[in-house]
């Protein structure tokens, strides 16, 4: 029974947990809510690993209510979805452990909102239906609106207002593009739509391309690509560390959606709409790297630095994706796993540093010594060399894969200097931040605020994930190779959905 319903369980478990957490739990509700949250996240992690194992040789299709595709809504778990689900689960558990030591008390219902957010993210990764993707996007956005304000304060409110208005507009554009695509193809199932779009001719194909470009705008807004990234630094830098760490996976939802839709529907087999966004991705991605690294260098706050690092990683991934061949997609996915883990760790770390420094918080200025100075310093060093890409950790490997994937002259000419230059700027910015915060301290007594072991352990778990990515780089890159091969042959996905859909009695 478990095997049949494995695809939907990563959505159901957090949903059930969130509903349970909303019950009135008597005098000391937070205690029970934390237990429910941790148990649910651990179970989700186990389920995600099971999912990864079971998609090795097949694409799992789950027809909700046994309504056959393309008429019903299907959940589809192929290798890419399984990887993203596993990554979300791996990120969510340490971040939740971190949050359970005080940060969840800053506002009400943090725990339930957190689980709802996970529901939305998991759903977006697993669904095989475009309108369903919209609904899951809304679920994750609605909880993110509330989470972004967690803790309150003027700066958070302002950043949230920008974020909400932008995303509401984005949702409207999403609906318009769905309307356009439904009007022209008569279906919302992604696999079925891929078939229909490939067969379109002339004016109909032009309308489908317009719909596809609108979808690209929406996903680029979520992924924070160049003209649409301005919400990200403020939003990520002003919110609490745990929320920002969980949001490390949010830009990846946008990237996942771009990969899914623009390899499956508007990919190489897309007929007149084939390879719709390649050129756009290439140039916008390059400029995102450029502006992101300028932002990294120009920020005077550690949180802002990390937010811009997220931006650089988005640019790097989308540029690599635009190269299009399987090696590039494989390198992109490897980098995606690496950057999610390390961005999560850095956001949590910035939070610890800010709290231990007291008044100067995360601003990159001379300040008092921290209570757990050496421990934090060591973790910051580890995270920094990982994110910059200095050997031997995963940052170095993933950048190496990306540089290897760019082969022809024009690609090397533009991509190599930008990625290496961005790496250099990141190195300057992070070494400046590290030396100001850890070495240029005032003499005298260190601050007294210290953090419990579990919060350090949570950061360590994410960093160990990055180390493990280096140690098991071979098997991980084999897996990402397999994903890239699967993405390059969308016919496999299409036939799995349209033929075996609904065989889950």
Partner 1 sequence: METLYSITVGTLTACSVFLILRGRSFPIVIGLTMLSYAVNLFLFSTGRLVINQLPLVGMSEASSDPLPQALVLTAIVIGFAMTAYAIILAVRVRGEIGSDEVNDYNYAEQEGQR
Which residues are CB-contacts of 439 (< 8 A; sequence separation ≥ 6)? none
Of the candidate residues 32, 145, 280, 287, the single one contacting partner 1 (CB under 8 A)? 145
365 binds partner 1 (CB under 8 A): no
Q: Which stretch binds partner 1 (CB under 8 A): 57-65, 176-184, 316-324, 328-336?
A: 176-184
Q: Which run of H or E residues covers position 240?
A: none
- Whose CA is closest to 10, among 41, 37, 44? 44
Three-class secondary structure assignment of 73-132: CEEEECHHHHHHHHHHHHHHHHHHHHHCCCHHHCCCCHHHHHHHHHHHHHHHHHECEHHH
Of the candidate residues 84, 85, 178, 379, the single one contacting partner 1 (CB under 8 A)? 178
171 binds partner 1 (CB under 8 A): yes
* Token duo for residue 484: 């890239």
Helices 302-323 and 409-434 cross at an angle (nearest 10°) of 170
Task: Work out how close the CB of 157 gets to partner 1 at its nearest, in angstroms, rounded to a whole number.
Answer: 5
- Whose CA is closest to 114, among 139, 87, 81? 139
Q: Which stretch binds partner 1 (CB under 8 A): 75-83, 167-175, 416-424, 460-468?
A: 167-175
* Contact between residue 493 and residue 191 where contact means Cβ atoms under 8 Å apart: yes
Measured CA to CA, the distance from residue 366 to residue 442 in angstroms comes to: 7
Site string for partner 1, 88-127 (x = CB under 8 A): ----------------------------------------
Of the candidate residues 23, 39, 46, 168, the single one contacting partner 1 (CB under 8 A)? 168
160 binds partner 1 (CB under 8 A): yes
Which residues are CB-contacts of 166 (< 8 A; sequence separation ≥ 6)? 221, 228, 231
* Contact between residue 424 and residue 61 where contact means Cβ atoms under 8 Å apart: no
22 binds partner 1 (CB under 8 A): no
Of the candidate residues 35, 38, 50, 142, the single one contacting partner 1 (CB under 8 A)? 142
165 binds partner 1 (CB under 8 A): yes
* Contact between residue 130 and residue 190 where contact means Cβ atoms under 8 Å apart: yes
* Contact between residue 330 and residue 481 where contact means Cβ atoms under 8 Å apart: yes
- Please say whether the dihedral angle defined by the alpha carbons of residues 482, 484, 486 and 488, taken in this order, is positive or negative: negative
Of the candidate residues 12, 49, 50, 135, the single one contacting partner 1 (CB under 8 A)? 135
215 binds partner 1 (CB under 8 A): no
Pairing relationship of beta strands 60-63 and 74-77 according to DSSP bridges: antiparallel
25 binds partner 1 (CB under 8 A): no
* Token duo for residue 288: 């995102």
Task: Work out how close the CB of 94 gets to partner 1 at its nearest, in angstroms, rounded to a whole number.
Answer: 30
179 binds partner 1 (CB under 8 A): yes
- Alpha-helical regions (H) of 324-372: 326-357
Which residues are CB-contacts of 385 (< 8 A; sequence separation ≥ 6)? 393, 395
154 binds partner 1 (CB under 8 A): yes
Between residue 180 and residue 209, which ones bind partner 1 under the rule CB under 8 A?
180, 182-183, 188
C-beta of 180 vs 255, nearer to partner 1? 180
Measured CA to CA, the distance from residue 373 to residue 377 in angstroms comes to: 6
131 binds partner 1 (CB under 8 A): yes
Q: Which run of H or E residues covers position 63?
A: strand 60-63
Binding residue count for partner 1, defined by CB under 8 A: 25
Task: Work out how close the CB of 199 gets to partner 1 at its nearest, in angstroms, rounded to a whole number.
Answer: 19
The three-class DSSP label of residue 301 is strand
158 binds partner 1 (CB under 8 A): yes
Task: Work out how close the CB of 23 gets to partner 1 at its nearest, in angstroms, rounded to a whole number.
Answer: 22
* Contact between residue 160 and residue 145 where contact means Cβ atoms under 8 Å apart: yes
Between residue 401 and residue 460, which ones bind partner 1 under the rule CB under 8 A?
none
* Contact between residue 171 and residue 202 where contact means Cβ atoms under 8 Å apart: no
The three-class DSSP label of residue 483 is helix
C-beta of 230 vs 283, nearer to partner 1? 230
C-beta of 154 vs 445, nearer to partner 1? 154
172 binds partner 1 (CB under 8 A): yes
Q: Which stretch binds partner 1 (CB under 8 A): 15-23, 162-170, 410-418, 436-444?
A: 162-170
Q: Which stretch binds partner 1 (CB under 8 A): 26-34, 109-117, 159-167, 456-464?
A: 159-167
Task: Work out how close the CB of 182 gets to partner 1 at its nearest, in angstroms, rounded to a whole number.
Answer: 5
Task: Work out how close the CB of 376 gets to partner 1 at its nearest, in angstroms, rounded to a whole number.
Answer: 29
Site string for partner 1, 308-347 (x = CB under 8 A): ----------------------------------------
Q: Tell me which residues touch partner 1 (CB under 8 A).
A: 131, 135, 138, 142, 145, 154, 157-158, 160-162, 164-165, 168-169, 171-172, 175-176, 178-180, 182-183, 188
């Amino acid at each position: 029974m478990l095997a049949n319903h494995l695809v939907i369980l990563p959505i159901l478990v957090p949903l059930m947990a969130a509903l349970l957490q909303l019950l009135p739990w008597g005098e000391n509700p937070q205690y029970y809510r934390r237990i429910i949250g941790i148990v649910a996240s651990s179970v989700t992690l186990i389920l995600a690993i099971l999912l990864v194992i079971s998609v090795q040789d097949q694409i799992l299709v789950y027809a909700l209510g046994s309504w056959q595709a393309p008429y019903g809504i299907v959940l589809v778990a192929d290798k890419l979805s399984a990887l993203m689900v596993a990554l979300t689960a791996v990120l969510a558990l340490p971040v939740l452990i971190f949050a359970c030591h005080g940060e969840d008390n800053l506002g009400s219902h943090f725990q339930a909102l957190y689980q709802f957010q996970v529901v939305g993210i998991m759903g977006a990764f697993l669904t095989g239906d475009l309108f369903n993707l919209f609904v899951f996007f809304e679920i994750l956005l609605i909880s993110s609106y509330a989470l972004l304000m967690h803790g309150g304060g003027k700066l958070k409110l302002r950043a949230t207002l920008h974020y909400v208005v932008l995303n509401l507009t984005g949702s409207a554009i999403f609906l318009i593009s769905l309307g356009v695509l439904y009007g022209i193809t008569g279906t919302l199932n992604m696999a079925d739509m891929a078939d229909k779009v490939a067969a379109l001719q002339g004016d109909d194909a032009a309308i489908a391309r317009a719909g596809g470009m609108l979808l690209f705008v929406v996903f680029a807004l979520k992924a924070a690509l160049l003209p649409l990234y301005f919400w990200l630094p403020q939003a990520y830098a002003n919110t609490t560390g745990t929320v920002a760490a969980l949001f490390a996976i949010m830009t990846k939802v946008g990237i996942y959606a771009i990969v899914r839709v623009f390899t499956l529907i508007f990919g190489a087999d897309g007929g007149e709409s084939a390879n719709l966004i390649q050129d756009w991705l290439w140039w916008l991605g390059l400029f995102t790297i450029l502006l992101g690294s300028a932002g990294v260098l120009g920020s005077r706050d550690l949180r802002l630095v990390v937010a811009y690092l997220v931006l650089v990683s988005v640019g790097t991934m989308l540029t690599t994706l635009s190269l299009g061949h399987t090696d590039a997609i494989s390198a992109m996915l490897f980098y995606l796993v690496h950057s999610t883990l390390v961005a999560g760790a850095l956001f949590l770390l910035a939070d610890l540093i800010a709290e231990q420094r007291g008044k100067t918080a995360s601003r990159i200025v001379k300040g008092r010594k921290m209570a757990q100075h050496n421990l934090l310093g060591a973790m910051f060093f580890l995270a920094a060399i990982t994110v910059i890409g200095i050997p031997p950790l995963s940052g170095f490997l993933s950048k190496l894969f990306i540089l290897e994937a760019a082969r022809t002259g024009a690609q090397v000419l533009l991509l190599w200097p930008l990625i290496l230059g961005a790496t250099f700027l990141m190195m300057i910015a992070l070494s400046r931040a590290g030396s100001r915060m850890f070495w240029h301290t005032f003499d005298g007594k260190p601050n007294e605020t210290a953090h419990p072991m579990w919060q350090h352990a949570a950061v360590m778990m994410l960093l160990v994930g990055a180390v493990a990515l280096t140690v098991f780089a071979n098997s991980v890159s084999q897996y990402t190779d397999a994903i890239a091969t699967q993405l390059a042959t969308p016919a496999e996905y299409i036939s799995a959905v349209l033929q075996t859909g609904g065989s889950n009695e």
